[in-house]
Amino acid sequence: MSLSGIFPIDRWNFTTQSMLNVLSEEHYAELVSHQSEQKFRKGDVIFREGSVPSGIFLIRSGKVKKYKVDNLFKEQIIYVAGPNELIGYHAVLSEERYPDSAAAIEDSLISFIPQDDFISVLHRSPAFNRRLLKALSHEFTVLANSISVIAQRTASERLAIALIVLREKYKEAGSEENEVILNISRMDLANMAGIAQENVIRLLKEFKAEGIVETDGRKISIMDIQRLVKKSNYH
């Protein structure tokens, strides 16, 4: 079932997938002319907060979490990126160190694009430049929503929103809309929702008892998206 009309999923997803679509064949070829592909296993770190960037990353397959770690080494997942999304470009554009870390949450294939090629295409393609600015502006809305949820929502509402957002990510991977299965650890789910892992386990049991989800190990099947949206209490 589509979320159209019942949940504003566009306010929760970055829009970097469409950025490459505005490039001409010539500019796209230039962008990827020196790319290198690397396979990352689940849990592998792609880049760490505070390190110096030398390029950007294009996710070919798999999923990647962008996260920050506090002084107590607790993660807060900022965003989950999927196929065809770009990551790591904020630090390149600002000429600063990475403001967050990125790691694979499942086996992933990722292209590394040197920053010189990225910057060169950005200068040569006004359409790409405009699309990037639009994407950056939209990301502010996404991050503002995330902050609002952490500050104002109950644990149940936070978990419901996290599951809705992840459902859209896994649906994009090719699952049938009514058979979307999330494959994510309870710890990552807790770090995404901003709640304790034990609360995630307890709330998933409640959601399961209500027929909203089914669980099989770390896999979570969304059975009733309408009731899950109602749980989110998002207006």
pLDDT value for 58: 96
C-beta separation of 67 from 77 below 8 A: yes
Q: State the average pLDDT over residues 40-50.
A: 97
- Averaged pLDDT score across all residues of the chain: 91
For residue range 108-118, list pLDDT tens digits in order: 999 999 999 99
Using pLDDT thresholds of 50, 70 and 90, give the confidence band for residue 50.
very high
For residue range 108-146, list pLDDT tens digits in order: 999 999 999 999 999 999 999 999 999 998 888 888 888
pLDDT value for 124: 95
- Phi, psi for residue 208 in degrees, rounded to 5: -65, -40
Pairing of strands 108-114, 64-69: unpaired
Using pLDDT thresholds of 50, 70 and 90, give the confidence band for residue 1.
low
pLDDT value for 120: 97
| pLDDT of 17 above 80 | no
Using pLDDT thresholds of 50, 70 and 90, give the confidence band for residue 6.
confident
pLDDT value for 172: 60
- Separation CA 60–CA 39 (nearest Å): 10
Q: State the average pLDDT over residues 92-118.
A: 96
pLDDT value for 19: 87
For residue range 148-194, list pLDDT tens digits in order: 777 789 999 999 999 999 998 888 654 445 678 999 999 999 999 99
Structural domains for the chain: 9-148 (2.60.120.10), 154-232 (1.10.10.10)
- Separation CA 24–CA 181 (nearest Å): 36
Residue 182: name the closest of 132, 136, 140, 219 by CA.
219
